[in-house]
Amino acid sequence: MSSSALLRTALLGVAAGVLCSLLTAIPAFAKTVPTWWHPGPAPLHWQWELDHALRLDNASDMGTNDRLPDGQPAPPPTIYDIDGIDNPAKTVSALHLQGDKVICYVEVGAAGNYYTAKAEGLTTTYYQQLKGAGVLGLRLPDYPERFLNIASPKTLAIIESMIKAQCAAKGFDAVETDLDETYAGADGPTGFSLSRHVEVAYMEALAGYMHSLGLAWIAKNPDDTGDRYPTLIAPFADGVLTEQCNEYKTCSALSAFLGTKAVFDAEYSLGTSAFCPTDIAHQIDGVQFTAALDGTRHPCD
């Protein structure tokens, strides 16, 4: 055999070996692709408690002694939506040991100076980071918080770091993002020129980041906007938490989610008899809470 033929044979052998190695590596690579929870429609049995750190030994916090509208004992929650900063990883682990899913509540469109650096496990709080980045806007009318300039890459970077440290690192299954529709003005003027396009781009970027960390995204109150926003985010949102959609007659705005993804409905003023039949019919997980979200809970089913 000539030297050129020998060289060609050797190269073919090397190429075959490389191809074989790549094919062998594909299954291993595929296993590294992140997966996340995809909560389906009702009934899911959930608890929403943000007033304080969840007390695992407290029946009210855990929702284990609640009653259905007909007076029968309610099924215990299997999903807990709790504050991501107030609650440590050990609480999430304890809930997981019970077979529960845990949602991490954080704000992504506004920030308040609520937490200490020690509580956040930082040298500089997220609020101070956002203030130093110059992305704080007007104050919310009813809360000691300021809107964020969601068009700024600095905002995105700081909020992503918060989600990673407070939600992913603690083992949460999903993130409830509060104030994720501030462009519409339902919570007051932000001080920035924000459009629906900017909001969708911001939340799509955050959703992609959450998914890369193995976290589902639960959108908050997209039905408040009065436009197509709920439909636009439905492809990358894994569920919705809406407040008072029955009272304000906005539940139908969530049609892109109904019957296919989780829709958690929190009602405060209406009695369960006024909204439970409708929620159950539309596969919405309806619960009457107190506005304090202190653990008091009256579920529909």
What's the pLDDT tens digit per position in 71-110? Answer: 999 999 999 999 999 999 999 999 999 999 999 999 999 9
Yes or no: say if 291 and 268 are a contact pair by the CB < 8 Å rule.
Answer: yes
User: pLDDT tens digits for 217-237?
Assistant: 999 999 999 999 999 999 999
CA 240 to CA 231: how far, in whole Å?
12
pLDDT reading at 238 higher than 80: yes
Phi, psi of 112 (to 5 degrees): -125, 155
- pLDDT above 60 (res 137): yes
Domains of the chain by residue range: 1-33, 37-299
Say what the pTM is: 0.89
- In degrees to the nearest 10, what's the CA dihedral of 92, 97, 103, 104? 10
How much is the average pLDDT of 195-209? 98
* Per-residue pLDDT, 31: 53
pLDDT of res. 9: 42
Q: Which CATH architecture has domain 37-299?
A: Alpha-Beta Barrel (3.20)
pLDDT, tens digit, 9 for 90 and up, residues 10-32:
434 434 443 344 334 445 444 56
Residue 34 — pLDDT band, cuts 50, 70, 90?
Answer: confident
